[in-house]
Amino acid sequence: MDVLVVDHPLAKARLTTMRDARTDNAAFRAALQELTVMLVYEATREAPLKEDRTHTPVARTTGYKLANPPLLVPVLRAGLGMADQAHKLIPDAQMGFVGLARDEETLQPTPYMESLPENLAGRPVFVLDPMLATGGSMEYTIRLLTQRGATDVTAICALAAPEGINHLEDSKLPCRLVTASVDERLNDSGFIVPGLGDAGDRLYGAV
């Protein structure tokens, strides 16, 4: 699986804000939004373009737009913290939604919501979730997408654990990962170390 680590200095600075236990919910949301811009920017670096003739105030010229904008799929809850910024960068994108809660004991994802287009053949998909921990949630989501014909899936995560990357590699699902960091490991509770805690709680409060 291709893994792109976006280690730009500005991305590192935003991630540090997110890691800091003293960062409050509002500042955490802002830092994740800013980091999302950088991750989506890098994730679209090789995106095919189509020409789009345009007029400047001075002359006619050739402009460009994305030939095939990706479907954006935030994984609720925490992925919602990335959705608006990704959509601002790719305004033509359609958005689907998957709702998963990870069981705190078994670490298995429990689905509670799914709203996706029926046919994803030929469409790139960006899955948005701040955390790739065991990889169970991402694997579940990518399976939903491939069952609908998707073959070009990019997981966009602020943070990833090596265990989650191995899990996706073992699944043989068609995907690549764009992340700001591959951290050290998972702890016994399934939290990324050093990580940033629980992204959903830090965005929206503990449930």
Residue 41 phi, psi (nearest 5): -55, -45
Q: Is 79 helix (H, G, I), strand (E, B) or coil?
A: coil
Touching ligand PRP, residues 96-125 (CB under 6 A): 100-102, 107, 109
Size of the site for ligand PRP (CB under 6 A): 23
Which CB sits closer to ligand PRP, 5 or 66?
A: 5
Q: What span, in angstroms and rounded, lies between the C-alpha atoms of 20 and 104?
A: 23
Interaction mask 12-51, ligand PRP, x per CB under 6 A: ----------------------------------------
For the chain, the first-to-last Cα distance in angstroms comes to 34
Pairing between strand 109-115 and 71-76?
unpaired
Toward ligand PRP, which CB reaches closer, 99 or 117? 99
Minimum distance from residue 50 beta carbon to ligand PRP (Å) = 34
Position 81 contacts ligand PRP (CB under 6 A): no
Q: Is 129 annotated as a binding residue?
A: yes
Query: Residue with structure tokens 């291709």?
Result: 2
Dist. CA 174–CA 129, nearest whole Å = 17
Does the footprint of ligand PRP cover residue 175 (CB under 6 A)? Answer: no
Q: Of 188, 189, 138, which Cα lies nearest the Cα of 159?
A: 138
190 binds ligand PRP (CB under 6 A): yes
Question: Which stretches of the chain bind ligand PRP, using CB under 6 A?
Answer: 75, 77-78, 100-102, 107, 109, 129-138, 164, 190, 198-200
